[in-house]
Homo-oligomer: A and B are copies of this chain.
């Protein structure tokens, strides 16, 4: 993944479908942020918060929404500079083609069905009746257990585990060490002792999902744990048994969802958020980092704190709390004044 390419600015402008301002013959060999870019890098500007960096950037070219007249470097005017920049990443850092074969040190069951152009790296283990879609890459140390299925063009990074009968859609990325389909944490408690509830359900991960490194998605007790299309889950997140997460929702690192909670579409969850079991979180809700959610959350609501409440109320309470010693002093002063009034009234009698 080294950058072998050198590209001219005018060629880049054509590729991105942007308008060129300035010298199109400038050659570039990399891309970088405004702060880190050097003279052979192209950068982008799309956020007013970074306007100060325009004065000091050493970038060799810029992708921008509006031409920046002060900058004496070639510019490509594009309606979405960040998206254009992301497109260029693949130019400068081309994804290396996968080997497209099964390494002799991999272990693949005879009853597994592998489609075309599947790559299986050393020490990966693929169980009975597993099916793997075309173009999928299975890295070293991955374990896919019996009767699981993985769709087309997925990436299973090193040491990923997909347990028996779980289903992974297409274009899913499983970051290193994540565990799909471990047992849910379910026990019957009798006389103070725990009796294990076997988890015979599965996990179903739809298309275009990404799961972070060392995250854990538990299988259902019965039925299935369901991660809908386009969901993005960060590192070290925990998803309990029978949870359902709606399309295009995202969870930041170390968040956790307890069993049977149902999360809507486009919900955003900050890092270290926790949710108790059997909740319903409405579409487009925002759960701010470290929230401890113990009740249902309405669609579009923004909550924070423990126990989680509307974020505006939390901010207000926090401000009130800071002024609490001041309030106490005011009450003390009032007591003094009332005592004086009482004294006076008594004297007057």
Contacts and interface: CB of A to CB of B under 8 A. Distances in A.
Nearest to A128: B96
A32 interface: yes
Given A140-B125, A188-B83, A250-B194, A161 B158 contact: yes
Contact of A183 (B31, B175, B188, B345): B175
A195 B83 contact: yes
Interface string A78-104: 001011001001101100000000010
Given A1-B165, A253-B238, A216 B218 contact: no
Interface in A260-293: 266, 270-272, 274, 276, 289-290, 292
Contacts of A188: 82-83, 86
A246 to B, nearest CB: 11
A164 B159 CA distance: 15
Contact of A331 (B235, B236, B272, B327): B327
Nearest to A253: B238
A320 B328 contact: yes
B320 A306 contact: no
Interface string A16-58: 0000000000000001110010000000000000000000000
Report the interface size class on chain A: 35 or more
A179 B214 contact: yes
A116 interface: no
A330 interface: yes
A173 B341 CA distance: 72
Contact of A125 (B123, B271, B338, B341): B123
Interface in A305-336: 305-307, 309, 313, 316-318, 320-325, 327-328, 330-331, 334-335
A322 B325 CA distance: 12
Contacts of A216: 177, 212-214, 235-236, 253
Interface stretch (A7-15, A61-69, A130-138, A196-204): A196-204
B256 A272 contact: yes
A232 B107 CA distance: 33
Contact of A271 (B93, B147, B274): B274
A271 B240 CA distance: 11
Given A89-B200, A222-B31, A345-B344, A185 B230 contact: no
5 contacts: A163-B176, A196-B210, A240-B253, A320-B321, A337-B338
Given A143-B176, A159-B161, A218-B235, 7 more contacts: A80-B190, A143-B159, A175-B179, A182-B213, A192-B248, A290-B306, A338-B338
